[in-house]
Amino acid sequence: MPLGKKYRFVIPGPPVGHTATTHKGKFQPRYRKYARYAKDVRMLAEAAGLPLPLSADAENQVMVNVYSYFENGTHPDPENVRKGIADALAYDTARKRKGDDKHFGGLFTPPRYDKEFPRAVVIVKDYRRKKKKRKTS
């Protein structure tokens, strides 16, 4: 489903990286922190008007760009922060299942630091590949 416009929202607080887990691992503090963060991501995205869950296909691809601002040098990998946010945006909480994010793209920046206001700035937009013109002889 094409988005039609660019969405931007800010997730206040220290960015949290994606955490893979098993069923048993869902009771661990690290996973619970990630699950709360994902819930906040969805709430803030919906408040910004982003229709959730996001889904993409070969025709309608989605870019999820994330700019992470950390408090100090101890933090998760910025790539894992982007992955966790993208996964949260593709998750359908009503059906408790993941949407199709196979055709998501995006960027993450090297770590940035702001001790006073750690955050993640997220920009979501459509991405359409330009079709190559074939030469005919």
CATH fold group of domain 7-127: 60s Ribosomal Protein L30; Chain: A; (3.30.1330)
Burial 120-132 (b: 16+ CB within 10 A, else e): bbbebeeeeeeee
Model pLDDT, residue 99: 61
Q: Averaged over 24-43, what is the pLDDT?
A: 86
Q: Averaged over 53-77, what is the pLDDT?
A: 92
pLDDT-based confidence at residue 103 (cuts at 50, 70, 90): confident
Domain ranges of the chain: 7-127
Does 94 score more than 60 pLDDT?
no
Crossing angle of helices 78-89 and 29-47, in 10° steps, is: 60
pLDDT-based confidence at residue 111 (cuts at 50, 70, 90): very high
pLDDT-based confidence at residue 62 (cuts at 50, 70, 90): very high
Rounded to the nearest integer, the mean pLDDT of the chain is: 87
The pTM is what?
A: 0.85
Residues 6+ apart with CB under 8 A from 42: 52, 88, 89, 91, 93
pLDDT-based confidence at residue 98 (cuts at 50, 70, 90): low
Instruction: Please write down the HEC assignment for all residues of 11-22.
Output: EECCCCCCCCCC
